[in-house]
Structure 1
Amino acid sequence: MCPLVAGAGVSRRSPFVVVLSDTDRVVLEASVAGYTAPFWLVQRARIVLLAADGVMNVDIAQRLGVDVDTVCKWRKRFVAEGLAGLKDRPRSGRPRRFPAEVVAGVKAMACQPPAARQVADPLPWSRWSSAELAAQAVAEGLAVSVSASTVRRWLAEDAIRPWRHRSWIFPRDPDFAAKAARVLDLYERIWDDSPLGADEFVISADEKSQLQALSRCHPELAAGPGRVRRVEFEYERHGTLAYFGAYDVHRAQLIGRVAPKTGIVPFAELAEQVMTTEPYASAKRVFWIVDNGSSHNGQASVDRMRTAWPTATLVHLPVHASWLNQIEIVFSVLQRKVIKPVDFADLDALAARLTAFEPRYNAAARPFNWRFTRADLDDLIQRIDAHRAAPLLIPSSAVAA
Structure 2
Amino acid sequence: MPDPVAPAVVLSDEQRAQLVAWSRRATSANGLAVRSRIVLAAADGLSTSAVARKLDVHVATARRWRARFVEQGLDGLLDEPRPGRPRTVRDEQVEAVITTTLETAPKDATHWSTRSLAAELGLSQSAVSRIWRAFGLQPHRQDSWKLSKDPLFIDKVHDVVGLYLNPPEAAVVLCVDEKSQIQALDRTAPIFPMMPGTPVRASHDYKRAGTSSLYAALDIATGTVIGSLHARHRAIEFKKFLATIDREVPAEYDVHVVLDNASTHKTPAVKRWLTAHPRFVLHFTPTSSSWLNLVERWFGELTTKKLRRGTHRSVRELNADIRAWINTWNDNPRPYVWTKTADQILESIARYCTRINDSRH
TM-score range, shorter chain: 0.7 to 0.9
What is the alpha-carbon distance in structure 2 between the residues aligned to residue 305 and residue 113 of structure 1? 57
* 1:308-327 alignment, distance < 5 Å: 308-327=276-295
State whether residues 219 and 225 of structure 2, in contact with CA within 8 Å, keep that contact through their aligned partners in structure 1: yes
**Residues 92 and 183 of structure 1: CA distance in aligned 2, closer, same or farther (over 3 Å):** farther
1:125 aligns with 2:116: no
Aligned counterpart, 2:135: 158
**Residues 163 and 201 of structure 1: CA distance in aligned 2, closer, same or farther (over 3 Å):** same
Unaligned runs of 5+ in 2: 1-80
1:232 aligns with 2:223: no
**Residues 106 and 359 of structure 1: CA distance in aligned 2, closer, same or farther (over 3 Å):** same
Aligned counterpart, 2:333: 365
State whether residues 170 and 384 of structure 1, in contact with CA within 8 Å, keep that contact through their aligned partners in structure 2: no
State whether residues 260 and 287 of structure 2, in contact with CA within 8 Å, keep that contact through their aligned partners in structure 1: yes
- Report the alpha carbon displacement of residue 301 of structure 1 after superposing the two structures with TM: 7.9
The 3-state SS of whatever aligns with 1:276 is helix
Amino acid at match of 1:331: F
The 3-state SS of whatever aligns with 1:206 is strand
Aligned counterpart, 2:224: 253
- Report the alpha carbon displacement of residue 125 of structure 1 after superposing the two structures with TM: 2.8
1:282 aligns with 2:252: yes
The 3-state SS of whatever aligns with 1:135 is helix
**Residues 368 and 96 of structure 1: CA distance in aligned 2, closer, same or farther (over 3 Å):** same
CA distances 1:197-244 after superposition (whole Å, capped 9, x unpaired): 1x1111000000111111112221111111101112222111111111
State whether residues 172 and 319 of structure 1, in contact with CA within 8 Å, keep that contact through their aligned partners in structure 2: yes
What is the alpha-carbon distance in structure 1 between the residues aligned to residue 358 and residue 269 of structure 2? 38
RMSD: 2.3
What is the alpha-carbon distance in structure 1 between the residues aligned to residue 282 and residue 186 of structure 2? 38
Superposed structure 1 runs of 4+ greater than 4 Å apart: 90-93, 387-393
- Report the alpha carbon displacement of residue 165 of structure 1 after superposing the two structures with TM: 0.8
* 1:1-400 alignment, distance < 5 Å: 93-114=84-105, 123-137=107-121, 145-190=122-167, 196-197=168-169, 199-279=170-250, 281-283=251-253, 285-297=254-266, 303-304=271-272, 306-386=274-354, 390=358, 392-393=360-361
The 3-state SS of whatever aligns with 1:111 is helix
Amino acid at match of 1:96: R
What is the alpha-carbon distance in structure 1 between the residues aligned to residue 356 and residue 197 of structure 2? 51
Equivalences, count: 281
What is the alpha-carbon distance in structure 1 between the residues aligned to residue 239 and residue 126 of structure 2? 59
- Report the alpha carbon displacement of residue 92 of structure 1 after superposing the two structures with TM: 5.6
Per the normalisation by structure 2, the TM-score is 0.72
Per the normalisation by structure 1, the TM-score is 0.65
- Report the alpha carbon displacement of residue 155 of structure 1 after superposing the two structures with TM: 0.6
What is the alpha-carbon distance in structure 1 between the residues aligned to residue 129 and residue 175 of structure 2? 45
What is the alpha-carbon distance in structure 2 between the residues aligned to residue 380 and residue 297 of structure 1? 31
Amino acid at match of 1:234: D
State whether residues 165 and 338 of structure 2, in contact with CA within 8 Å, keep that contact through their aligned partners in structure 1: no
**Residues 112 and 273 of structure 1: CA distance in aligned 2, closer, same or farther (over 3 Å):** same
**Residues 375 and 91 of structure 1: CA distance in aligned 2, closer, same or farther (over 3 Å):** farther
**Residues 308 and 264 of structure 1: CA distance in aligned 2, closer, same or farther (over 3 Å):** farther
**Residues 320 and 297 of structure 1: CA distance in aligned 2, closer, same or farther (over 3 Å):** farther
- Report the alpha carbon displacement of residue 388 of structure 1 after superposing the two structures with TM: 7.6
State whether residues 235 and 270 of structure 2, in contact with CA within 8 Å, keep that contact through their aligned partners in structure 1: no
The 3-state SS of whatever aligns with 1:267 is helix
Amino acid at match of 2:255: V
What is the alpha-carbon distance in structure 1 between the residues aligned to residue 155 and residue 189 of structure 2? 52
State whether residues 261 and 287 of structure 2, in contact with CA within 8 Å, keep that contact through their aligned partners in structure 1: yes
What is the alpha-carbon distance in structure 2 between the residues aligned to residue 297 and residue 291 of structure 1? 10
What is the alpha-carbon distance in structure 2 between the residues aligned to residue 391 and residue 340 of structure 1? 37
State whether residues 231 and 341 of structure 1, in contact with CA within 8 Å, keep that contact through their aligned partners in structure 2: no
**Residues 319 and 304 of structure 1: CA distance in aligned 2, closer, same or farther (over 3 Å):** farther
Unaligned runs of 5+ in 1: 1-89, 116-122, 138-144, 191-195, 394-401
The 3-state SS of whatever aligns with 2:127 is helix
State whether residues 302 and 314 of structure 1, in contact with CA within 8 Å, keep that contact through their aligned partners in structure 2: no
State whether residues 306 and 312 of structure 1, in contact with CA within 8 Å, keep that contact through their aligned partners in structure 2: yes
What is the alpha-carbon distance in structure 1 between the residues aligned to residue 111 and residue 256 of structure 2? 46
What is the alpha-carbon distance in structure 2 between the residues aligned to residue 94 and residue 391 of structure 1? 38
What is the alpha-carbon distance in structure 1 between the residues aligned to residue 296 and residue 269 of structure 2? 20
Aligned counterpart, 2:73: none
- Report the alpha carbon displacement of residue 350 of structure 1 after superposing the two structures with TM: 0.1
The 3-state SS of whatever aligns with 2:248 is coil
- Report the alpha carbon displacement of residue 302 of structure 1 after superposing the two structures with TM: 7.2
State whether residues 211 and 231 of structure 2, in contact with CA within 8 Å, keep that contact through their aligned partners in structure 1: yes
